[in-house]
Structure 1
Amino acid sequence: MRRLLIVMALFAAQPAVADSNMPPAYWANRQLPDAKQEARAQALMDELRCLVCQGQSISDSDAELAGDMRDLVRRRIAAGESPKQIRSWLIERYGSWISYRPTTEAAAWPLWLAPLFLIGAGAYLVRRRIKARAPN
């Protein structure tokens, strides 16, 4: 009985259902036949963040969701959509966080201005310290 409980505990500890049993999406790991379309798709996939891994682009990630997103990008490129349209649709659906390309939204202005402010404040403090140490 004790062995059975140990085996059941070990089995339950396994991530048995972490991945689905579904096969990967058709275009997840295949290239488009048209080299120009594939180049556009690849460039876009390099700019999109994986929603699961968060630190990788969908072109680098092995996550199942990243494969689904690669499939979506390739299908839309093959259907004639531009990378800009696809990126806009994904940003509308998942938010601007999904894109590695910086945004110019008003909410992001502090992120753009903070380094300039910090450099200016540092220069002011250095200048003030140098003046304080200089003999009169």
Structure 2
Amino acid sequence: MEDLILETRHLSKKFKNELADNDVSLHIKRNTVYGLIGPNGAGKSTLLKMIVQLLAPTEGNIIFDGHPISRKDLDNIGALIEGPALYNNLTAEENLLVHAKLLNIPVSRISEVLEIVDLKKTGKKTAGKFSMGMKQRLGIAL
């Protein structure tokens, strides 16, 4: 049997009279990379928002690590949907410092996380001057 980390079963989302996602069934194996490709309006972001519980499905189920997904599972899921919310007037390190203090995360992790996302050498450059890719990597770090 496959070792699935995420499965959706007949997942659908309807907004008033518009069907954003219709009968989506995914089977994503543990330790794999999975991409969603499609044109604007195809329902990719809506699907991700349902998986991270920002939107409730109209129909269907989401299974995470073998059980129905719950809020507790979000501790083990990282997602960046669309653009990250950054303080554009702060550096990468300062953005992380704000979040570390708000979330009671040791500030000693900041250097480690900046290294992981390859933003350690950005120095005094503010997030507002980052390229889109750099902003997305900072969002992942956050």
TM-score bin (small chain): under 0.3
TM-score, structure 1 normalization: 0.24
TM-score, structure 2 normalization: 0.23
In proportion to residue count, which structure has more strand? 2
In proportion to residue count, which structure has more helix? 1
- Higher-Rg structure is 1
